Amino acid sequence: MLEDRDAQFELLICKLSRLQDLDAQDIEALRKLPLEIENVGRLRQLIRERDEPTRCCILLKGFAARHKVVASGARQIVSFHIPGDILDIQHLLLGKADHSVETITSARIGWIPKADLLEVAWQKPNIGKALWRDCLIDASIFREWVLNVGRRDAKSRIAHMLCEFVLRCEAAGLGDRHNFELPMTQTQIGDATGMTPVHVNRMLKVLDTQGAVARDRNRFEVVNWDQLCRIADFDPVYLHSAAA
């Protein structure tokens, strides 16, 4: 079980290494962090809006999303997450959760106490920088999403969401764009792009007919990446090489 534990850390170390060079001591410090592993099912709420979390959660396997709700009950997904992502790093320094986090597939979660992670962040500047930079890239993606739901039409919005997700998955070594499994439902795509599931369906069909993507059951393929990017008005600068 110990080597299994080490294996779980690899994902996190790999992710942080891409954000900032880490030396042996940094990695050692990371490995010493307490990590509680939990396997959970689909649609499991990990953090509820208004909670005051005492630990951070890291996604080790599966997919997750963060969302907020309006008074009428409508949901808005503000980000999707893939293995290696830290799901609520903002709670290191913010008390009350301003949004919820839930899995969209069955998943494996690693829990690290806030206090321990915070301590390491300040003792090991490289780790602090990596975490801080992670927050900043997070924010950059939110900005792009504001633009996406604010100023693109339905087809572009979905195409953009697909481009981003495919690119991040590829970078993390999860399948390739030509043979892909979209983990989210059309309703969830709608919640992420500010649309109804019905219209998501219509637009996916258009992307399919136009030859940008192909769908079969829950398999998904990007047939023409350049075309999809053009439709999406996609420019990966905002990912800040997090997916390069």
Partner DNA sequence: CGACAACTTGACGGGCGTCAACCGGAGTGG
Partner DNA sequence: CCACTCCGGTTGACGCCCGTCAAGTTGTCG
Task: Note the residues at the interface with DNA (CB under 7 A).
Answer: 153-155, 185-187, 194-199, 201-202, 204-205, 215, 217-218
Single out the residue of 77, 91, 106 nearest to residue 47, CA to CA: 91
| From the list a second copy, DNA, none, partner contacted by residue 125 (C-beta under 5 to 8 A by kind) | a second copy
What is the rounded distance in angstroms from the CA atom of residue 109 to the CA atom of residue 223? 33
- Residue (33 or 154) nearer to DNA, CB: 154
- Residue (24 or 70) nearer to DNA, CB: 70
| From the list a second copy, DNA, none, partner contacted by residue 197 (C-beta under 5 to 8 A by kind) | DNA
Token readout for 171 is 């970078």
What Rg do the C-alpha atoms of the chain give, in angstroms? 18
| From the list a second copy, DNA, none, partner contacted by residue 202 (C-beta under 5 to 8 A by kind) | DNA
- Residue (142 or 176) nearer to a second copy, CB: 142
Nearest approach in angstroms of CB 68 to a second copy is 5
CB 11 within 8 A of CB 84: yes
- Residue (20 or 196) nearer to DNA, CB: 196
Single out the residue of 138, 121, 147 nearest to residue 85, CA to CA: 138
Nearest approach in angstroms of CB 147 to a second copy is 4
Distances (CA, A) of 24 to 28, 61, 73: 6, 25, 48
- Residue (22 or 101) nearer to DNA, CB: 101
- Residue (180 or 234) nearer to a second copy, CB: 234
Single out the residue of 80, 39, 78 nearest to residue 60, CA to CA: 39
Contacts of residue 202, Cβ cutoff 8 Å, sequence gap at least 6? 154
Summarize as ranges the residues that interact with a second copy (CB under 8 A): 50, 66, 68, 70-72, 74-76, 78, 90, 93-96, 98-99, 122, 125, 128-129, 132-133, 135-140, 142-147, 149-152, 193-194, 233, 237-238, 240
Nearest approach in angstroms of CB 172 to DNA is 22
Instruction: Kindly report the number of other CB atoms within 10 A of residue 73's CB atom.
Output: 6
| From the list DNA, a second copy, none, partner contacted by residue 113 (C-beta under 5 to 8 A by kind) | none
Token readout for 106 is 């069955």
Which DSSP state fits 12?
H
What is the rounded distance in angstroms from the CA atom of residue 35 to the CA atom of residue 93? 19
| From the list a second copy, DNA, none, partner contacted by residue 154 (C-beta under 5 to 8 A by kind) | DNA
